Structure 1
């Protein structure tokens, strides 16, 4: 499994959003983009994380950041997730896990003491130059957005 590091070029992607639109990383060229990967919409940890990003979105956008949340869920499930929880971040569907894999956010992980294959909760900050300014694997669902904001000086 490939792990990305600060300074690596961010893998490009084009995925379908919860509203059915194609969203590409290149749409945000020259801007800072927070790309976070989560296992499944509408689960307790993923809901907490998505709500935390939504609650912080105004502050992040004020500093020039775009937030993209990516999971293997289908766009229809992501739309229900957005509606149910009042999410304002962009949610993207990666059903074949190709983008998850490119970022090293899919593979073996420990879950309750067992080794399983699945989504590794991860967050990346892509700088305006298209290179990774931050790469964090195995992040916690709760408290991660506050830590990220501290790390970014926000």
Structure 2
């Protein structure tokens, strides 16, 4: 397996153009053109406890984040149907991008070898990337914990 290199603050963020669960296109270029910063977060699976906590924390912080011109985009390898069920059940107020072939995961270095109960497998490393309107990474967090994560991101960004 190739060595994974972590992205770092100050680097240009890898460009993306993905569709959400409704079929709408989301590209970093379009957000940059609109002067928006992007919070791109990768999570393992819709409707699991940690992922639900994280998504709901982002949902509950949207007023503060939108006030800072931040757009939140969640990414997992789940299907459109799974995303729509998750969005509806949790009343999420931001899109979830589909990455069923994990191309975007690999581009951002979040598809990693993991282990549980002595077994090794490939999976999503819960990670968050804050991309400025200039296209550069402003904040990077690999392997983040769900509890308090969104508050930490908001604090790091200096959002009131």
Do the two structures share a fold, i.e. TM-score over 0.5? yes
SS of the equivalent of 1:15 reads strand
Aligned residue among 14, 17, 41 for 1:14: 17
SS of the equivalent of 2:61 reads helix
Q: How many matched pairs?
A: 154
Q: TM-score scaled by structure 2?
A: 0.91
After superposition, the C-alpha distances for 1:102-148 in whole angstroms (9 at most, x for unaligned) are: 00111113446654310000000001110101111000122100111
Aligned residue among 98, 105, 114 for 2:110: 105
After superposition, the C-alpha distances for 1:72-113 in whole angstroms (9 at most, x for unaligned) are: 011111011000110001110000101011001111134466
Once the 2 structures are TM-superposed, how far is the Cα of residue 3 of structure 1 from its aligned partner?
A: 1.2
Aligned to 1:68: 73
**CA root-mean-square deviation:** 1.4
Where structure 2 has 5 or more consecutive residues not aligned to the other structure, the ranges are none
Q: TM-score scaled by structure 1?
A: 0.94
Aligned to 2:135: 130
Aligned to 1:40: 45
Task: Determine the C-alpha separation between the residues in 1 that align with 2:30 and 2:21.
Answer: 17
SS of the equivalent of 1:149 reads helix
Once the 2 structures are TM-superposed, how far is the Cα of residue 150 of structure 1 from its aligned partner?
A: 1.2
SS of the equivalent of 2:122 reads strand
Where structure 1 has 5 or more consecutive residues not aligned to the other structure, the ranges are none
